[in-house]
Amino acid sequence: MANFDEDDPKRRPDSSRPSVERFSGFASDYDQYRPRPPSVVMDVLTQFAQLARPVLVVDLGCGTGLSTRIWADRARKVIGVEPSDDMRRQAEQRTTAMNVSYRRGLSHETGLPDACADIVTCSQALHWMEPDSTLAEVARILRPGGVFAACDCDWPPTTPHWQADLAFRTLLERVGKLANERRVDDGLKRWHKEQHLGRIRACGHFRYAKEVLLHGIEMGNADRLVGLALTFGSLMNLLKSGMTESEIGLDALREVARATLGDKPLPWYFSYRVKAGIR
């Protein structure tokens, strides 16, 4: 059974309508159910940057700040850049650290000074960004020797029950098929995640690039698995189009999740692919 990926090029439309508001309306669920990058990501990136405590970390497409506020104790200053007002408001509400701030901006138009950042990150978002202009902007705001990293999760996470994992994957595959049939994602432009590393190497802005495979552990139960499914944009667009949870297949996932995972939170393993480039 093929693994569903929202940025599958077979599903990618030709139009380039901006996807800024794709996740508007469910920022709270996104912040509650999506994973946050594990601390080992910061360990690796500071090692690449050869700095124990970066002066500035910039997080592009920061969403609700899950990948931004993790840096609060690891960097002097952290700036999250996010074009969606809905997501950015949630990030501001969830952040208490005084050294973390957010600004409205695009991946290719951050408004930040030249060579200001030691590390630039992009978590679960680079596939929504035009690569040439984004990588040029990243190179502009990075200081020489600075690090850029695109961090993406594999779906589904590894829960204690393979039946739940299979039900999640089956749902996402059904969502992909229905989204094509209903054309709910028409106008959205995506770039394939598997090509991130090649584009970083080919753009000419970085002296070295490699992929690092990492994992994080978070707790989850049946409710979290269903909530996680509800953070996928294509599924939300199907609901917005008038389809019911039963028609989409969410009720089937909920049934399997309750039967296998139950209410007690247990460890889940989230696998990450980090594509890093050295300026």
**Which one is predicted more confidently, 202 or 189?**
202
CB 234 within 8 A of CB 275: no
Give CA angle at 276 (2, 208), nearest 5°. Answer: 120
Q: List the domain boundaries for the chain.
A: 9-278
- Mean pLDDT lowest for which of 110-114, 185-189, 213-217, 259-263? 185-189
Q: What is the pLDDT of residue 72?
A: 98
Question: If you ran DSSP here, which 8-state letter would residue 112 be given?
Answer: P
Give alpha helix (H) positions in the chain.
Answer: 27-33, 39-49, 85-94, 131-141, 162-182, 196-202, 222-229, 233-240, 245-248, 250-260
pLDDT of residue 151: 97
| Mean pLDDT of all residues belonging to the chain | 91
Does residue 5 have a pLDDT over 90?
no
Read off the pTM. Answer: 0.90
CA–CA distances in Å: residue 26 to residues 68, 128, 135, 224, 271: 19, 18, 28, 15, 24
pLDDT digits (tens, 9 = 90+) for 134-145: 999 999 999 999
Give the 3-state secondary structure of residue 129: coil
| pLDDT, tens only, 32-88 | 999 999 999 999 999 999 999 999 999 999 999 999 999 999 999 999 999 999 999
Q: What is the pLDDT of residues 160-174, one digit of tens each?
A: 999 999 999 999 999
Going by pLDDT thresholds of 50, 70 and 90, the confidence category of residue 2 is very low
Residues ≥6 apart with Cβ < 8 Å to 20: 83, 84
Cα–Cα distances in angstroms (integers) from residue 118 to residues 37, 97, 271, in the given order: 18, 19, 25
Tell me which of 3.30.830.10, 3.40.50.800, 3.20.20.140, 3.40.50.150 is the CATH number of domain 9-278.
Answer: 3.40.50.150
Flag the least confident range among 9-13, 44-48, 124-128: 9-13
The single-letter DSSP state of residue 116 is -
Q: What is the pLDDT of residue 74?
A: 97
Q: Do the beta carbons of residue 162 and residue 42 sit within 8 Å?
A: no
- Calpha distance 225→260 (Å, rounded): 11
**Quick one: pLDDT band at residue 186, thresholds 50, 70, 90?**
confident
Q: How far apart are CA 11 and CA 240, in angstroms?
A: 19
**Percent above pLDDT 70 for the chain:** 91
- With a cut of 80, say whether residue 270 has pLDDT above it: yes
Q: What is the pLDDT of residues 237-255, one digit of tens each?
A: 999 999 999 999 999 999 9
82 token code pair: 């996010």
Q: Answer whether residue 3 shows pLDDT above 50.
A: no
